[in-house]
Amino acid sequence: MPSDVVAVTDRAFARIAPKWWPGNPGAVLVIPRTHVENIYDLSPEDGFAVWDLTQRVAIGIRSSYGCEGTSIRQHNEPAGDQDVWHLHVHVFPRFPDDRLYQRHGDAEWVDPGRRETFASKLRAALGMPFALD
């Protein structure tokens, strides 16, 4: 959904994830704008763009969500738990005792209205363009 997008650069964009783990609402995906299946095929230029935006998003999440930290994950190939065949980086808000890694199987799809609350907060914190061309 276009309303999920929170930041766009020439080479990457960030969007609120449509699937959340309990206790970690408003997680974000940072994605290169060009198709790259996994980290093995990522160009240095796109890698920098993704990592730069990931850092900005982590700072924005920490300042606007009221969380006490962030976690970042990226998966490659089936043995590495990759299940979407386009590279993306997960940025999770973290709270004490949220049990993020123990609750992976409890993830749920979230309706756009709930996502928009977090998208608005993060867009304001980032102060970046958020429309995909």
The pLDDT score that the predictor gives to residue 106 is: 82
The pLDDT score that the predictor gives to residue 45 is: 97
**pLDDT (average), residues 18-47:** 94
Which domains does the chain show, CATH number per domain? 2-125 (3.30.428.10)
The pLDDT score that the predictor gives to residue 27 is: 96
**Phi, psi (degrees; rounded to nearest 5) at 128:** -115, 160
User: Under DSSP, is residue 92 helix (H, G, I), strand (E, B) or coil?
Assistant: strand
Computed on alpha carbons and rounded to an integer, the radius of gyration of the chain in Å comes to 14
Residue 83 has pLDDT above 90, yes or no: no
The pLDDT score that the predictor gives to residue 80 is: 85
User: Under DSSP, is residue 108 helix (H, G, I), strand (E, B) or coil?
Assistant: strand
> What one-character DSSP code corresponds to residue 3?
G
Sign of CA dihedral 12, 45, 56, 75: positive
Question: Higher pLDDT residue, 83 or 33?
Answer: 33
**Phi, psi (degrees; rounded to nearest 5) at 28:** -125, 150
Q: Share the mean pLDDT of the chain.
A: 92
The pLDDT score that the predictor gives to residue 105 is: 73
User: What are the tens digits of pLDDT across the range 106-121?
Assistant: 889 999 999 999 999 9
